[in-house]
Amino acid sequence: MTHRRAARLYVLALLCFLALSFGTALASPPVRVLFVGNSHTATNGLPQVVETLAARQGVRLEVEIIAEPGYSLGDHLAGRELRAALQEDWGWIVLQQGPSSLLESREDLIASTRSVAALLQGPTRIALLSVWPHRGHRETSLAAEESYRQAARAIGGCVLPAATAWRHALAADAPPRLYQRDQLHASEVGTVLAALTMLPGLIGEDAAGLASPDDAPPAGMDEELHTLHQAAARAHREEPERCSGMAEPT
């Protein structure tokens, strides 16, 4: 079974348990979302998982991805593909590079984010997708989260706090298995957590059916699924630079 297939099956299982109020507004024009990053974005088809979750909530997203293994945003800016894509109309552009917890990496993230913003035309909104650190460096998570916040503030953008959600989930009494064997990339479970965290920022809290972080699990919900849902809700609500969705259809 491919990673993408496994991720989609896990999303379907998740949707069977989450207490979400499914919408019916799929006839509206889609919001185009461009994901720019590296293997953290590409692993398990994260953009497609976000698109699937949004569709089940009655919101149409049309996702595209520009991602290369090991790339920073600066690497993308040095090429032609991203610059060409930035001339198109997008509702959201989601930017991601490595955890960027080191000062040099933080400065690079901020500078590259400013460069992307300077190339945009029209009302496109920029979101920064914060990235969890290597499992062996989990103590750097707070610094990584702050790097993405500073990059968002530099351009008046916002943060999709996946790194924060991972930190909360891993602190649970029974933490889910978020990492692959390489201790860096997301497992299928980790991809679902990242997607759940992004959803309220991209489509809005009401549309996403965001629960209170203190809610008891609905009857029949698997404990691991409840941990993911609560970690995502807590991360979104605690994020001072959180995205508020929705962007205009494009």
Q: Which domains does the chain have, with CATH numbers?
A: 3-16+25-238 (3.40.50.1110)
**Euclidean distance between the first and final Cα of the chain, in Å?**
35
CB 166 within 8 A of CB 132: yes
Distant-in-sequence, close-in-space partners of 177: CB < 8 Å, separation ≥ 6 = 187, 189, 190
pLDDT at 211: 61
Question: DSSP code of 7?
Answer: H
50 by DSSP, 3-state: which? helix
| C-alpha–C-alpha distance, residues 38 and 45, integer Å | 12
pLDDT at 247: 61
Give the residues of the chain that fall short of pLDDT 50: 1, 13, 16-17, 19, 220
188 by DSSP, 3-state: which? helix
pLDDT at 29: 87
Distant-in-sequence, close-in-space partners of 187: CB < 8 Å, separation ≥ 6 = 44, 177, 178, 179, 180
Question: Which pTM was predicted?
Answer: 0.88
Which tens digits make up the pLDDT trace of 28-41?
Answer: 789 999 999 999 99
235 by DSSP, 3-state: which? helix
Which tens digits make up the pLDDT trace of 105-158?
Answer: 999 999 999 999 999 988 899 999 999 988 877 777 899 999 999 999 999 999
pLDDT at 28: 77
Longest Cα–Cα distance of the chain, Å, equals 51
CB 215 within 8 A of CB 180: no
C-alpha to C-alpha distances, 69 to 37, 42, 66, 99, nearest whole angstrom: 8, 9, 10, 14
| C-alpha–C-alpha distance, residues 165 and 167, integer Å | 5
**Residue with the two structure tokens 């602190």:** 171
